[in-house]
Amino acid sequence: MNIYVFGLGHIGLPMAIWMALKGYNVTGIDIHRDQIETIREGTVAIQEHHEGKHIASIARDLLKTNKLRLQDTFHRMNDEPSIFVITVGIADRPDGTQDVSTVHKVVDTILPSLVDGDLLIFKTTMIPGTIDTIVIPKVQSLHKKIYVAYSPETISETAAFYELEHNERILSAMDEDSYVTAEKFLKSLTDSPIHRASTIKLAEMVKVVQNIDRDVNIAFINEVSEVALKLGIDIHELRQLVNTHPRVQLLEPGPGVGGYCLPNALKYLQLALDEEMRGEMQLMNTARELNNLRPIKIVHQVIKRLSEHGKGIKDAKIAVIGLAMKDYCADYRYSPALEIVQHLIREGAEVRAYDPLVPAYVIHQANSYEEAINRADCIIIAAKQENVGFDPVEISERMDKPAIVVDTRNALAPHPNIYLYKV
């Protein structure tokens, strides 16, 4: 059976590859030609591995055997009933508003080719109500036997192949036949449990609430971290001991919330609501504001620590190590580390950023980790990356004295010659 996967980004590419590895003939479609070219050339930057191989090389092997094909303009291979997996995200406009036209466009692309027996399964994180209002009326207007289902994606970047295989799935569908067809397809991929949502809107809401849950709880642990620092308490020891309680699970503190999903989740919920209800969501709104403030709070922490040691931020050499939105990742969308860099520059600091996986065109970077930390007045550890050692001896020797490190990722071991602030 042919599968067409729309969108070959962080979610769509691993998914297309995984389905091809399961034996399906997969055609991946992405309207951005560059994306197709990087896959063909084997230069995919995303950090996903399966059985020891990088995703770029798995993709190339599959391309050679035609288990995976690529298109930048959609062409249906034949008229046999097929499966259409949609991973194209709702777009973010530069002004921060959401653009659902991406979903409209992908549906309009597929619609004219549909035949009886086709299944459309959406993985996109949706504003609750989107599939009922945008997708289903269009499909029903065809008066064909088309199945429509929604199964939100929960995989985490850098763990895509493992989580595709093991994560539990939520599934909802337009009608009973759609549900049965989609469930059969999902079961053909992996045995991991499937939970039925009674309506598609509810399933859309599940995904949005999962993301907001993390957003709120990150705001909470970061606030706890700020309080702990004030009290001279190690946040990581505190967290470890708090989490011995069987019903408490603190997340890890960090430099803020990045990536495409979590910072946008609250907007998705707000767009499903009226003005009055939006204002009433005090906890979620506050958490979001706190998460937006976290990068500048990290910078204030740096200013405070420098000043305690008789240094000012203006012209201070600050190394920001790790620019990705999370550890061991190449994704820098909404990365709090990039915001930290911007704030530091505004404060007049001389910033030397470094991340081996984030391209230099995103932000000017030092040529190496060593160059970034040499003679630095302060190091901010904003993300861990492979082959970036965070060796305390090397750091204490290379830095200007006193060596000040603000560690947002619990990456550095204490050392007598380093003033280490874990936040």
Ligand X SMILES: NC(=O)c1ccc[n+]([C@@H]2O[C@H](COP(=O)([O-])OP(=O)(O)OC[C@H]3O[C@@H](n4cnc5c(N)ncnc54)[C@H](O)[C@@H]3O)[C@@H](O)[C@H]2O)c1
Positions that interact with ligand X (CB under 6 A): 6-12, 29-32, 35, 87-89, 102, 105-106, 109, 124-125, 153-157, 260-261
Burial class (CB in 10 A: 0-12, 13-18, 19+), 131: buried
Closest residue by Cα to residue 84 from 32, 28, 33, 155: 28
d(CA 197, CA 151): 9
Cβ contacts of 402 within 8 Å, gap of 6 or more: 309, 419
Q: What's the alpha-carbon Rg for the chain, to the nearest Å?
A: 23
If the CB atoms of residues 122 and 421 are measured against ligand X, the closer one turns out to be: 122
If the CB atoms of residues 87 and 222 are measured against ligand X, the closer one turns out to be: 87
Rounded to the nearest whole angstrom, what is the least distance from the CB of residue 96 to ligand X in the complex? 16
Indicate the DSSP class of residue 254. -
If the CB atoms of residues 158 and 301 are measured against ligand X, the closer one turns out to be: 158
If the CB atoms of residues 105 and 384 are measured against ligand X, the closer one turns out to be: 105
Q: Which amino acid is at 244?
A: T
If the CB atoms of residues 74 and 220 are measured against ligand X, the closer one turns out to be: 74
Q: How many CB atoms lie within 10 A of CB 73?
A: 8
If the CB atoms of residues 7 and 295 are measured against ligand X, the closer one turns out to be: 7
Rounded to the nearest whole angstrom, what is the least distance from the CB of residue 255 to ligand X in the complex? 18
d(CA 354, CA 317): 13
If the CB atoms of residues 90 and 299 are measured against ligand X, the closer one turns out to be: 90
d(CA 88, CA 124): 6
Helix (H/G/I), strand (E/B), else coil: 210: helix
Residue nearest to ligand X (CB): 9
70 sits in which H/E element: strand 68-71
The β-bridge partners of 351 are 318
Rounded to the nearest whole angstrom, what is the least distance from the CB of residue 87 to ligand X in the complex? 5
Phi and psi dihedrals of 215, rounded to 5?
A: -60, -50
Rounded to the nearest whole angstrom, what is the least distance from the CB of residue 207 to ligand X in the complex? 7
d(CA 403, CA 284): 38
If the CB atoms of residues 155 and 298 are measured against ligand X, the closer one turns out to be: 155
Sheet holding 403-407, edge to edge: 350-354, 317-321, 378-381, 403-407, 418-422
Closest residue by Cα to residue 173 from 193, 148, 194, 203: 148
Check if the beta carbon of residue 369 is closer than 8 Å to that of residue 411: no
Rounded to the nearest whole angstrom, what is the least distance from the CB of residue 353 to ligand X in the complex? 23
Rounded to the nearest whole angstrom, what is the least distance from the CB of residue 385 to ligand X in the complex? 18
Rounded to the nearest whole angstrom, what is the least distance from the CB of residue 273 to ligand X in the complex? 19
Helix (H/G/I), strand (E/B), else coil: 367: coil
Rounded to the nearest whole angstrom, what is the least distance from the CB of residue 326 to ligand X in the complex? 9
If the CB atoms of residues 154 and 172 are measured against ligand X, the closer one turns out to be: 154
